[in-house]
Structure 1
């Protein structure tokens, strides 16, 4: 081990820098950029959707929607219900999801980060069709189906 310090002042800027004449300083010169690149890559991947994350999230969201009756209405858009189901899956960064469409042709689910889009179609069937309450206040069985590709334009 040398007697050189790990950090020395730079002669022009007077800031502390790693000392290349010290073994630890040399190691830090090599290791610090590698660690920084790893951290930046990790941050990038945690903030952007991958194709696999989107595929998993959409299919798990369909399973979640199919699992139990929900308060829903055929006449109102279901983007919020789909968005909540995708968020429940925990897949992906949780932001940047784009849901467009309507109940007649389905909802196209995509992100800016991926080239793939998915079409989710929802079918709502009242739990108790003979109820005296209006259908808007009733729970519905939701049948969600997913196919790869954008939904056709209406």
Structure 2
């Protein structure tokens, strides 16, 4: 009496010394479940990676929304409230664009040795992991000196694509 593949059970006991049940690759349904599980895992990992990395359009949108929000109302600076770097980073994260898992970098691009630099603006470069595009933000007025009291500033920000 020959045994057909359809007579094989879908689940069999594991041969690895445990009492767990595993898919049976000799049954067509078991083989389909194995292939389906692998495809599901691959698609899930791809979508997880895609949702956690920045695209150029997402970074551009985040920068534009953050600039609009920072210019919309006066910002408060003080000894405990941070500086322009943190303020820009917070506005980028609150923009709702791009992944929520970070990957943003805001760096002060002012060169203290550049004699031709405009003293009326502070320069900041915004970059993101996985994206080659850099945005230069020219923020005026310059950041006030740190002090114990808070200061309210109305910002004017110019955005240029490329490094500062």
TM-score of the superposition, structure 2-length normalised? Answer: 0.71
1:96 matched residue in structure 2 = 103
CA contact (8 A) 1:72 1:124 kept: no
1:83 equivalent in alignment to 2:89: yes
Please list every run of at least 4 consecutive aligned residues from structure 1 whose deviation after the TM superposition is greater than 6 angstroms.
none
RMSD of Structure 2 on Structure 1 (CA): 2.8
Counterpart of 2:56 (choices 47, 51, 57) is 51
1:105–1:68 distance in 2 versus 1, CA, 3 Å: closer
Matched positions, count: 139
State the SS of the aligned residue for 2:155: strand
1:44, 1:68 → 2: CA distance? 36
Distance 1:66 1:110, change over 3 A: same
Within-5 A mapping of 1:19-34? 19-34=24-39
Where 1:93 maps in the other structure, the secondary structure is: coil
TM-score normalised according to structure 1 size: 0.75
Query: What pairs with 1:97-136 in structure 2 (closer than 5 Å)?
Result: 97-101=104-108, 102=110, 104-124=121-141
Aligned equivalents of 1:87, 1:112: Cα separation in 2? 14
Per-residue deviation at 1:77?
Answer: 4.4
Q: Which runs of 5+ in 1 are unaligned?
A: 126-133
Unaligned runs of 5+ in 2: 1-5, 111-119
CA distance in 2, matches of 1:77, 1:48: 26
Whole-angstrom CA distance in 1 between matches of 2:160 and 2:36: 46
- Whether the aligned pair in 1 keeps the contact of 2:122 and 2:141 (CA below 8 Å) is no
Task: Provide, for residues 60-89 of structure 1, a one-character-per-residue CA deviation record: whole Å limited to 9, x for no partner.
Answer: 11111111111148xx84101101100111
Shift in Å at residue 107 of structure 1? 0.3
